[in-house]
Amino acid sequence: MATCDVCGNDFDNAFTVRTAAGEELTFDSIECAAHRIAPACTHCGCRILGHGALAGDKTTRPTAVPTAPANKAPATSRTGLERLSA
C-alpha cells in the first residue's frame, strides 16, 4: 500500500513518478498525477495531457496559441512540446 501525494488515498495499485527534477511522487490515479504534474494552460487553466505548445515561457493547449490560425492547431512533434516564437 502507498499513499497518494494528492488525495491521501492509501491504495494497493499506487504508482510512483520521478520528475525531470528528480522529485519522486506517488499517485493512486492518472487524474491525481495530472493534477500534480501536468502543466496548466496559461489561456484556460486546463491541464495539458497531450502535446502542449510553448510560446516564450508560457505553455498552452495547441489550439489556444494566439499565433495559430483560428481553425488550425499548430503542428506538434513526437517529442511533445513545441517551442513557438512569442
Q: Which residues bind Zn ion (CB under 5 A)?
A: 4, 6-7, 9, 28, 32
- Residue 15, classified by CB atoms within 10 Å of its CB into exposed (0-12), middle (13-18) or buried (19+), is middle
CB of 20 to Zn ion, least distance (A): 21
Q: Which is nearer to Zn ion, 7 or 25 (CB)?
A: 7
Q: Which is nearer to Zn ion, 11 or 81 (CB)?
A: 11
We find the least distance from the C-beta atom of residue 14 to Zn ion, in angstroms, to be 8
Q: In whole angstroms, how close is the CB of 1 to Zn ion at the nearest point?
A: 13
Instruction: Using the minimum distance from each CB to Zn ion, give the nearer residue, 2 or 40.
Output: 2
